[in-house]
C-alpha cells in the first residue's frame, strides 16, 4: 500500500514540476524594441526588427512626400518619428498627418508597455495637452494625453485597460523630454496583429496646426500569451501574474508531496 502511495506522490511531483515550469517559462517570455537606439535607417520608410521570437515590421507614413524614419533628442532622450519632404510641421516627430505603424509576425503577443517622448501640456512649444493615439488591430483605439499638471497624463479608450500604469520618465516643464511609459498591459491581453501611433488635436480653442500634437516613439515591449485551444476560443487567457501564482502553487504542491514521500 505504501509503495502505491509513494508512486502516486512521485507522479504528482513530476506533473506539478513540469506544469509549473511550462507556465513560468511562458509568463516570462517577452520581446523588447528600443527605438532610442535608432534601429531603423533614416533613409528608409520601413524596417524589420526581431527580438525573442517576435518580428516587428515597422513603417513610417505621411501625407507628405517621401516619408522616412527620423530621430530627435531632447534632454538626453532620443525618440523615433517621421520626416517628409513636404507637409512636415515638426521633423523627427509624429505629427497630425503622420504615423508609425507596425505588424507582428505570427504568434500570440500582447502589448506589455510602450514609451512616448516629447508630449507636453503647454505652454511649452505652444503644444497644449498633446495627445498620442494608438490603434491596435485596426479597430481598438487608445489615447494618451498629457495632463494639465506637469508630469501627469491619462490613458483612455474603449477596449483599453483602465488600470494601466503611467510613469513619467522626463519632465513636461520645457526642461525635460516629456517622456511617459504606459505599462501594465495597456490593451489588456488582446493579441496584437497590428499597431499604429499617430497624433490627434487637443483642440482647446486654438487653430489646428501640424504640430498641435506631436511626439516620438521611445519603445515597445510585448509579452507572449499562452496558447489557447482552437476548440475552445471562449477560454479566457490568464494574465502573466496569474500564471506566476499558479505555477508557484503547483511547485508548492510538488514540494509537499516530495516531503511526504521522504517521511514514508
pLDDT recorded at residue 227: 74
CA dist., res. 187 & res. 110, Å (int): 8
Residues in the chain predicted with pLDDT less than 70, given as ranges, are 1-28, 204-211, 228-264
Which grid cell is 6? Answer: 509513494
CA distance to 9, 66, 89, 239, per residue, from 245 (Å) = 22, 50, 49, 10
Domain boundaries, the chain: 2-25+238-263, 30-224
pLDDT recorded at residue 174: 86
For residue 123, cis peptide bond before it (omega within 30 degrees of 0): yes
Contacts 24+ apart (CB under 8 A), 250-255: 250/16, 250/17, 250/19, 250/20, 250/23, 251/16, 251/17, 251/20, 253/12, 253/16, 254/12, 254/13, 254/14, 254/15, 254/16, 254/17, 254/20
Q: What is the pLDDT of residues 238-252, one digit of tens each?
A: 555 554 555 555 555
pLDDT recorded at residue 128: 78
Give the phi and the psi of residue 113 in degrees, each rounded to 5. Answer: -165, 160
pLDDT recorded at residue 192: 97
Q: What is the pLDDT of residues 165-209, one digit of tens each?
A: 999 999 999 899 999 999 999 999 999 999 999 999 887 655 555
Q: Cell 526588427: give the residue.
A: 49
pLDDT recorded at residue 86: 76
How many helices and strands in the chain, by DSSP H and E?
A: 2, 14
Q: What are the beta bridge partners of residue 71? A: 80
* Residues 6 or more apart whose Cβ sits within 8 Å of residue 204: 128, 129
| Sign of the dihedral through C-alpha 34, 36, 41, 44 | positive
This prediction has a pTM of 0.76
pLDDT recorded at residue 9: 53
CA dist., res. 258 & res. 221, Å (int): 38
Question: Which class would CATH give 30-224?
Answer: mainly beta
pLDDT recorded at residue 126: 73
pLDDT recorded at residue 4: 56
CA dist., res. 152 & res. 208, Å (int): 23
pLDDT recorded at residue 239: 53
Angle (CA) 154 199 41, round 5°: 115
Q: Which residues of 98-110 are buried (b: 16+ CB within 10 A; e: fewer)?
A: bbbbbebeebbbb
pLDDT recorded at residue 125: 77
Amino acid at each position: 500500500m505504501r509503495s502505491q502511495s509513494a508512486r502516486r506522490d512521485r507522479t504528482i511531483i513530476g506533473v506539478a514540476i513540469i506544469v509549473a515550469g511550462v507556465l513560468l517559462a511562458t509568463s516570462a517570455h517577452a520581446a523588447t524594441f528600443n527605438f532610442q537606439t535608432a534601429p531603423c535607417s533614416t533613409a528608409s520608410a520601413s524596417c524589420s526588427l526581431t527580438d525573442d521570437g517576435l518580428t516587428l515590421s515597422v513603417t513610417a507614413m505621411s501625407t507628405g512626400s517621401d516619408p522616412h524614419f527620423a530621430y530627435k533628442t531632447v534632454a538626453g532622450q532620443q525618440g523615433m518619428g517621421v520626416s517628409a519632404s513636404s507637409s512636415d510641421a515638426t521633423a523627427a516627430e509624429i505629427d497630425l498627418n503622420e504615423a508609425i505603424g507596425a505588424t507582428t509576425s505570427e504568434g500570440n503577443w500582447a502589448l506589455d508597455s510602450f514609451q512616448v517622448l516629447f508630449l507636453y501640456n503647454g505652454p511649452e512649444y505652444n503644444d497644449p495637452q498633446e495627445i498620442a493615439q494608438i490603434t491596435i488591430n485596426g479597430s481598438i483605439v487608445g489615447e494618451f494625453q498629457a495632463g494639465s499638471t506637469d508630469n501627469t497624463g491619462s490613458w483612455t479608450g474603449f477596449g483599453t485597460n483602465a488600470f494601466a500604469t503611467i510613469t513619467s520618465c522626463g519632465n513636461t516643464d520645457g526642461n525635460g523630454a516629456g517622456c511617459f511609459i504606459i505599462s501594465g498591459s495597456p490593451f489588456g491581453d488582446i493579441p496584437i496583429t497590428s499597431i499604429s501611433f499617430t497624433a490627434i488635436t487637443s483642440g482647446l480653442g486654438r487653430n489646428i496646426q501640424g504640430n498641435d500634437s506631436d511626439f516620438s516613439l521611445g519603445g515597445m515591449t510585448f509579452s507572449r500569451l499562452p496558447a489557447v485551444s482552437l476548440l475552445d476560443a471562449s477560454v479566457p487567457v490568464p494574465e502573466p501574474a496569474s500564471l506566476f501564482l499558479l505555477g508557484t502553487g503547483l511547485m508548492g504542491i510538488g514540494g509537499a508531496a516530495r516531503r511526504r514521500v521522504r517521511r514514508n
